[in-house]
Amino acid sequence: MKFAIQTIAISLTALILELFLPWYGIALAAFTFGYSLKSNANFLAGFIGITLTWGFQILRLDLQAATELTQSVASIVGLKEKYQLIVITLLLGGLIGGMAALTGSLLNQERKYSH
């Protein structure tokens, strides 16, 4: 339960922060709830949280796209298929989210330990 709440909190906060901050705002969202809503799978919560947010946005944009620019970009960066680009995008976002959430949770432990 705590894991689910943490994941959703990261996902929604990232969505909001993306409107105001550069792309690495997602790290701030994951870090915050890695720290404050610490679960027993913080990396996974950050990973899934950001993947959800980014996946939702990609779906929204790509399904309505007028051209095959996604496929063209995939080719430009040396990939064959468009879905490979989507997977790599989600992995990158997930990795940053996961690492930031993990870092947050470790700070929480660190503070508990030192008090």
Partner 1 sequence: MKVVKFLLSLLITVTLIYLLDNRWVVNGNPVPPLGKFLDPFHGFWRNLERNQNRAPLDEFTVPGLKGKVTIILDSLAIPHLFAENDEDLYFAQGYVTAMHRLWQMELQTHAAAGRVSEIVGPVGLNNDRYMRRLGMGFGAEQALQLMQSNPTARMIVEQYTNGINAYIATLNDQNLPFEYKLLDYKPERWTPLKCALVLMNMSRLLNMGDKDIEMTNALKLFGKDAIALLYPDHEMEEDPVVDKPGGWNFDPIKLDTVPLAVPDELIALHKMPGSDPDNGSNNWAVAGSKTKTGSPILCGDPHLTLSLPSIWYVLQMNAPGVNTMGASLPGAPGIVIGFTDSVAWSITNAQRDLVDWFKIKYFDDKREKYFLDDGWVHTRKVVERFVVRGQQDVYDTIVYTHWGPVTYDRNFHGENNLNDYSFRWTAHHVGEELMTLYKLNRARNHADYMEALDHFASPGQNFVFASVSGDVAMRVQAKYPVRRKNEGKFVLDGTKSSEGWQAFIPNAHNVMDKNPARGFVSSANQYPADSSYPYYITAPEYETYRNRRINQVLRESGDITVEDMMKLQNDNYNLKAAESVPVFLSYLDSTLFNAEERDAYTILKSWNYFNDVESMGASYYEAWLNNLEPLVWDEMESEKLDLARPTIYNTIKLIKEKPDLIFFDLQQTAEKETAKDIVQKAFSLAVEDIADWKAEHPNTEPGWADFKDSYIGHLLRLQPLSVHVRAPGNSDIVNALSKTHGPSWRMVVSLEKTGLKAWGVYPGGQSGNPGSRFYSNLIDRWTKGQYYQFSFLHKPEDLKSSTSLVFIPAEQ
Binding site for partner 1 (CB under 8 A): 18-19, 22-24, 27, 31, 54, 57-58, 61-62, 64-67, 69-73, 75-77, 85, 88-89, 92-93, 95-96, 99-100, 102-103, 106-107, 109-110, 113
Q: How far is the CB of 92 from partner 1 (least distance, A)?
A: 6
Phi, psi of 68 (to 5 degrees): -90, 40
- In whole angstroms, what is the distance from residue 98 CA to residue 10 CA? 10
Q: What is the torsion angle, in degrees rounded to the nearest 10, for the CA atoms of residue 22, residue 39, residue 3 and residue 26?
A: 0
Task: Output 8 or 21, the one with its CB closest to partner 1.
Answer: 21
Q: How far is the CB of 44 from partner 1 (least distance, A)?
A: 14
Task: Output 5 or 73, the one with its CB closest to partner 1.
Answer: 73
Single out the residue of 7, 1, 105, 21 nearest to residue 51, CA to CA.
7
Residue 54 is which amino acid?
Answer: W
- In whole angstroms, what is the distance from residue 1 CA to residue 100 CA? 21
Task: Output 31 or 33, the one with its CB closest to partner 1.
Answer: 31
Q: How far is the CB of 17 from partner 1 (least distance, A)?
A: 9
Contact 34, 103 (CB under 8 A): yes
Q: How far is the CB of 54 from partner 1 (least distance, A)?
A: 5
